[in-house]
Structure 1
Amino acid sequence: MASASVASLADEVNCPICQGTLREPVTIDCGHNFCRCCLTRYCEIPGSESEESLTCPLCKEPFRPGTFRPNWQLANVVENIERLQLASTRGLEAEDACPEHGEKVYFFCEDDEAQLCVVCREAGLHGAHTVRFLEDAAGPYREQIQKCLMCLRKEREEIQEVQSRENKRIQVLLTQVATKRQQVVSQFARLSQFLEEQQSFLLAQLDRLDGDILKQQEEFDSLVTGEIRRFSTLIEELEEKNERPAKELLTVRCETRKCRKPEAVSPELGQRIRDFSQQALPLQQAMKAFLEMLCFELDYEPAHISLDPHTSHPKLLLSEDHQRARFSHKWQNSPDTPQRFDRATCVLARSGFTGGRHTWVVNVDLAHGGSCTVGVLREDVRRKGELRMRPEEGVWALRLAWGFVSALGSFPTRLALEEQPRKVRVSLDYEVGWVTFANAVTQEHIYTFTASFTQEVFPLFGLWGRGSKGPVSLLWAQGWNQALWT
């Protein structure tokens, strides 16, 4: 910093004509400074004999040669700057010099870890020591630095890879959120239309009930009015007879008539009013179906699972439609192929996944003592010999047994659930790297694995114990949501 400041000051005291440090600086009428000799030569340039034609080399203001004024203060400043430059140069040379002898350092004593000049080396104090040239002595340190640099560069590359991978995950998640937003808007638009149609239908039903009630009210009023009129006539006749003499009264016969008691609302109409709430049942069912479908569309695509008999362990019995597996103690006559499990009683789905978001449901029906495993398996996992079910080996799975559920991580973790799941929903998000398990009946979350998938993964099913069986079904049937709104 000091040397840079000195250099900056030196630039300020340069002569505009020769571009060198000012020598015997003089000032002219305009205030600019020049070397005396430089300005004298400038005035002697051919064509400038007239004093009126002389102008400042910088600002072009006219000046007269006889007006040169020595600038002694500036001369002192120039002298001081030159001293500072000289001191700075000597300081830089002193940094590479031996502090004891002032000679340049060329050697390094490895025993004393000291830098030596020629005089130090010849003095005898380091005669029995290992003395090397500075560059040779610095070689091992340079190698060590290179190794550290390699490690640091490797770690930086790993961090950059993590950053790239996580940025891709973020982009995938942002895309998923945008898709979910579109699905929500679309589904609620359809729901709004459906609700308007249902409202119109129910209001029309209520309008018909209103009309029928008013019609029966008119009929009731007409009937009651007639009966009142009839009874009023009878009452008048009896009152007239009651006023007659006793002789005539004894010859009068009195007739009694029964009153008809009409109903304002017929039993059929009353039943229709009471049953009106049944008209809203389809709406209730449709709302439930809408919520289920919305959750489905905001979740994952249904995977069409079919068990692969070429991978099935010989103790597993598969149904004809390859949708069910059952454990049997009797070995099947199955060819021993590289794809087939020979020790783990497992079977894979026929198709795997290399991307996307997928979900499927496994119906679990375990007898006492039986257990099963559901999850996903990486393509390159060996199917011969012992199958180590943990993420490091390429398996992300749950184990369900009689009375407990465990997540098969690096160390199996027993999970505390509200109830033993009979239907397990498995959801795979390949790009984000999530394998999620949930109770397909109660929607209770069971466990989520986080991974980084680079190969094809397959749905995995394993069964142990007599009576264990694991029918596989799709989460949603095809065409289900189309039937809801049409």
Structure 2
Amino acid sequence: MASAASVTSLAEEVNCPICQGTLREPVTIDCGHNFCRSCLTRYCEIPGPHLEESPTCPLCKEPFRPGSFRPNWQLANVVENIGRLQLVSMLGSEEDDICQEHGEKIYFFCEDDEMQLCVLCREAGEHRAHTLRFLEDAAAPYREQIQKCLQCLRKEREEIQEIQSREKKRIQVLLTQVSTKRQQVISEFAHLSRFLKEQQSILLAQLESLDGDILKQQDEFDFLVAGEICRFSALIEELEKKNERPAGELLTDIRSTLIRCETRKCRKPEAVSPELGQKIRDFPQQALPLQREMKMFLEKLRFELDYEPVYISLDPQTSHPKLLLSEDHRRAQFSYKWQNSPDSPQRFDRATCVLAQDGFTGGKHTWVVSVDLAHGGSCTIGVMSEDMSRKGELRLRPEEGVWALRLAWGFVSALGSFPMRLALREQPQQVRVSLDYEVGWVTFANAVTCEPIYTFTASFTRRVFPFFGLWGRRSSFSLSY
């Protein structure tokens, strides 16, 4: 059956160009265009200059003879069929309920053959042994299934939309961070460029000064050497002349002459004084400020441009009784001896853990944990959601609100849905933990070698706290930033 859209399209093709309605008694004129007979007759009767000559076609303006109308019976049949199709289209819902074979209204549904039946179909032998139900009764369970499917699909669509919204926000946060980093890098390199130019000027000025000192001492050396050469030349010339004289003249004052030669003091000046030599040797020390500045610059590029170092102290109200906290709450040590700590909802009662005093609801933060497991044991490091229960055994995994690493003697594991042992080049003694709340990253790295260890991706909605767990004789950890 033709669709309503196709029927409408066909109907537009058989409209009269004069009245814009469906053609009635269509006739064709000499140029081949079709019009309603009555519309074309009235057109020819309208007074005007065209009556003096042959009338022209309303569409193409070709002249035609008024008596040359030719009935177009084929087009009339097409118009009639299109009208019938329009009627069927309007009454289609009613015809859909009519059995195509018997012309009777459909009342039943055969569940075995999944067919819609009329009364005559039901009485047919092939359906007598089948399960037959009224249409509405048969449709009811399917409607329920459809509703369940719709609920599931809508729920999944909402979840996807939530993911889409969350990821769009994450992308915007990342774009903002990249833009901020770009400006920071430009600013830091501009500062470094100014500093390098200043240091270059200072070092070149010092080298210029050393050049001047060397040239000055060279002049002094040349003057002294020239004097000594002159003195020795005079003595040599005197002795040469003495040696050429006869014996009598040679012996005259010979002893005085020899004493003067033997008691001469030869001054051996140095071209560069020890003090100037020491200045030249110490010149590399002048580059120490440059070295310190470059180190600071690299540190900024590595961390300070990315995360803000934070001061963390441990919360004694959350600490398990087997953990000994230092007075400044920056260090914890495991002890088999229980401390006298009153129980409270905030305190861990079975897992030997402790939280930081302050949590985060946004921003980018980093801190360093130094771990000492020389006597065995293990240490857990990460972040924990504030709404996670601290009583009983803890399930340390992201689904429960914990994103953490476990460091044990000889291996490191990421505590995901299933713990995963990580392959690292060396066992980290200091671990840098970095939290990006908006993006949802918890990143761990070796604080000494800067080797990446592991990164969790999460979607934070509650406050999160730096989280620490400790077990094993004399195992300990301390905090820095």
Structure 1 length normalisation: TM-score? Answer: 0.86
Give the 3-state SS of the residue equivalent to 2:76 in structure 1.
Answer: helix
2:75 alignment counterpart = 77
Query: 2:36 matched to 1:35?
Result: yes
Say if 1:56 and 1:133 are closer, same or farther in 2 by CA, change over 3 A.
farther
Aligned residues: 470
> Cα distance 1:342–1:247, how it changes in 2: closer, same or farther (>3 A)?
same
Q: 1:348 to 1:241 in 2, by over 3 A?
A: same
Q: Residue 318 of structure 1 contacts residue 326 of structure 1 at CA under 8 Å; is this kept in 2?
A: yes
Instruction: Provide closer, same or farther for how the CA distance between residues 345 and 83 of structure 1 changes in structure 2, counting only shifts above 3 A.
Output: closer
Does 2:478 correspond to 1:467? no
Q: Which residue of 2 aligns with 1:21?
A: 23
Inter-CA distance 348–69: structure 2 relative to 1 (3 Å threshold): same
Code of the residue aligned with 1:311 in structure 2: it is: T
Distance across 1 between alignment mates of 2:472 and 2:247: 108
Change (3 A) 1:349 1:56: same
Per-residue deviation, residues 320-365 of structure 1 (Å, max 9, x unmatched): 2111212222222211111111111111111111111111111212
- 1:13–1:78: 8 Å Cα contact kept in structure 2? no
Could you tell me how far apart the structure 1 residues matched to 2:49 and 2:458 are? 91
Aligned 8 A contact 1:43 1:54 in 2: no
Unpaired runs of 5+ residues, structure 2, are none
168-177 or 4-13: bigger deviation: 4-13
Matched, 1:186 2:184: no
Match of 2:420 in 1: 413
- Equivalent of residue 291 in structure 1, options 276, 285, 298: 298
Structure 1 residues 12 and 279, CA gap change in structure 2 (3 angstroms): closer
How many angstroms apart in 2 are the aligned matches of 1:239 and 1:49? 150
How much has 1:130 moved relative to structure 2? 5.0
Q: Secondary structure, in 3 states, of the residue corresponding to 1:282? A: helix
Identity of aligned residues (%): 73
- Rate the CA distance shift 1:13–1:373 in 2: closer, same or farther, 3 A: closer
Instruction: Measure how far apart 1:194 and its partner are.
Output: 1.2
Contact 1:396 1:409 in 2 (8 A): yes
* 1:23 alignment partner AA: E
Asked if the contact 1:9/1:81 (under 8 Å) is kept, the reply is: no
| Conserved 8 A contact 2:11-2:22 | no
Change (3 A) 1:244 1:125: closer
CA shift in 2, pair 1:62/1:226, >3 Å: closer
Q: C-alpha offsets along residues 162-188 of structure 1, whole Å, 9 cap, x if unaligned?
A: 111111111111111111111111111
Secondary structure, aligned partner of 1:68: helix
1:65-464 superposed matches below 5 A: 67-72=66-71, 74-80=72-78, 82-83=80-81, 86=84, 97-121=98-122, 131-253=132-254, 254-255=257-258, 256=261, 257-464=264-471
Cα distance in 1 between the residues matched to 2:15 and 2:293: 92
- For 2:211, the aligned partner's letter is D
Deviation at 1:58, TM superposition (A): 4.1
Of 138-147 and 452-461, the range deviating more from structure 2? 138-147
Q: State the SS of the aligned residue for 1:189.
A: helix
Shift in Å at residue 41 of structure 1? 4.8
Contact 1:183 1:297 in 2 (8 A): no
Aligned to 1:479: none
1:233-284, CA deviations, whole angstroms, 9 ceiling, x for partnerless residues? 2333333333433332232413313432222111221222122222223322
CA deviation digits over 1:61-104, x for unaligned, max 9?
A: 7989x7331224x4433335535765897797986643433444
* Contact residue 13 and residue 22 of structure 1 kept, 8 A: no
Residue 215 of structure 1 deviates from its aligned partner by: 0.7
- Deviations 1:34-56 (Å, cap 9, x if unpaired)? 333444455667x7899559977
The 1-side partners of 2:422 and 2:123 are apart by: 78
Which segment drifts farther, 10-19 or 341-350? 10-19
Alpha-carbon spacing, 1:247–1:15, altered in 2? closer, same or farther (3 Å): closer
In 2, the alpha carbon distance for the partners of 1:280 and 1:144 equals 79
Deviation at 1:366, TM superposition (A): 2.6
Kindly provide the amino acid, as one letter, of the partner of residue 347 in structure 1: V
The answer as to whether partners of 1:48 and 1:54 remain within 8 angstroms in 2 is no
Q: Structure 1 residues 274 and 138, CA, compared in 2 at 3 Å: closer, same or farther? A: same
Q: Shift of the alpha carbon at 1:371? A: 2.3
* SS of aligned partner of 2:476: coil
Instruction: Look up the equivalent residue of 2:246 and give its one-letter code.
Output: P
- SS across alignment from 1:265: coil
Equivalent residues of 1:405, 1:415 under 8 A apart: yes
Instruction: Report the secondary structure of 2:477's partner residue.
Output: coil
Structure 1 position 15, deviation (Å): 3.3
**Conservation of the 8 A alpha-carbon contact between 2:331 and 2:478:** yes
- Asked if 2 retains the 8 angstrom alpha-carbon contact of 1:10 and 1:21, the reply is no
Structure 1 counterpart of 2:467, which letter?
A: L
Indicate if the aligned counterparts of 2:26 and 2:75 stay in contact, CA closer than 8 A: no
Q: Check conservation: 2:440, 2:459, Cα contact below 8 A.
A: yes
